[in-house]
Chain A
């Protein structure tokens, strides 16, 4: 069963809201669709909303970091919003960081952060 994450447009930003636990191939699929959409819509920002996700393991985090870097290479910036308290704790204990990717509490804060309110 594959899950296709909806990617919405708001102004010049793209919003990808992950609704459920994604398996690895779904995440890879999301990665290529975000990159395509950034080019197609000349987006200057991407918000990935992970508030519905129960865990972010090393593979998920690594892929998010990769997505952020490719988005950056295409001249846009990416932020991650909605990391839940227990997810944040597990990530930190596992040793995962998001490097320099900006984060925000939720979609509202994320939109404010990129100036789309």
Chain B
């Protein structure tokens, strides 16, 4: 499933762990440009970092796409993390605090869901993982 990229989207290919840094710096810069508070900038960067790292570790490669959203008088940042790796068989379990097949803390996905305002994860069999997460600006 290929979601068409909106015109104002920024895309960062994720192949190596250096790309994780580029992606989260891009996210922070965007959040700063949009006038997000300092803590919210950090939250956006952290979410991107988690999603991008999962791509490197579990799917080998994929991409992070950032889009600015407008709703009424407030703006938001939409993060789409997309890969065509092995996918996640049990999404519910992957979203539990502490669940990790990578001997890590297992907080990346559940934590990202907590710090973002909207979170949607899909992993149809054979199609990798697509995560859409949105953070809205606080008025």
Task: Indicate if A touches B (C-beta under 8 A).
Answer: yes
Binding site for B on A (CB under 8 A): 1, 21, 23-25, 54-55, 57-59, 61-62, 85-87, 89-90, 93-96
Known: A21-B25, A94-B46. 4 other contacts (CB 8 A): A61-B105, A93-B114, A93-B115, A94-B115
Contacts of B39 in A (CB 8 A): 85-86, 89-90
A61 to B43, CA, bound (A): 15
Give chain B interface residues in 35-76, CB to chain A under 8 Å. Answer: 38-39, 41-43, 45-46, 49-50, 53
Q: Does B28 contact A (CB under 8 A)?
A: yes
Q: How many residues of B contact A (CB 8 A)?
A: 27
Q: 5 closest pairs, A vs B, by CB?
A: A94-B111, A86-B42, A24-B17, A57-B49, A86-B39
Q: Establish whether residues B42 and A1, one from each chain, have CB atoms under 8 Å apart when the complex forms.
A: no
Q: Name B's interface SS.
A: helix
Q: Are A57 and B97 in contact (CB under 8 A)?
A: no
Complex-state Cα separation, A96 to B46, whole angstroms: 12
Q: Are B24 and A55 in contact (CB under 8 A)?
A: yes
Interface check B108, CB cutoff 8 A? yes
B18 located at the interface, meaning its Cβ lies under 8 Å from any Cβ of chain A in the complex: yes
Determine the distance from Cα of A59 to Cα of B55 in the docked complex, in whole angstroms.
13
Check B114 against A95 for contact (C-beta < 8 Å).
yes
Residues of B within 8 A of A21 (CB): 21, 24-25
The one of A54, A61, A95 that contacts B42, using a Cβ cutoff of 8 Å: A54
A93–B46 CA distance with the chains assembled, in angstroms = 10
Nearest-CB distance from B51 to chain A (Å)?
Answer: 10
Binary interface profile of B, 74-107, with partner A (CB < 8 Å = 1, else 0)? 0000000000000000000000010000001101
CB–CB B42/A87 < 8 A: yes
**Contact indicator A93/B43 (Cβ below 8 Å):** yes
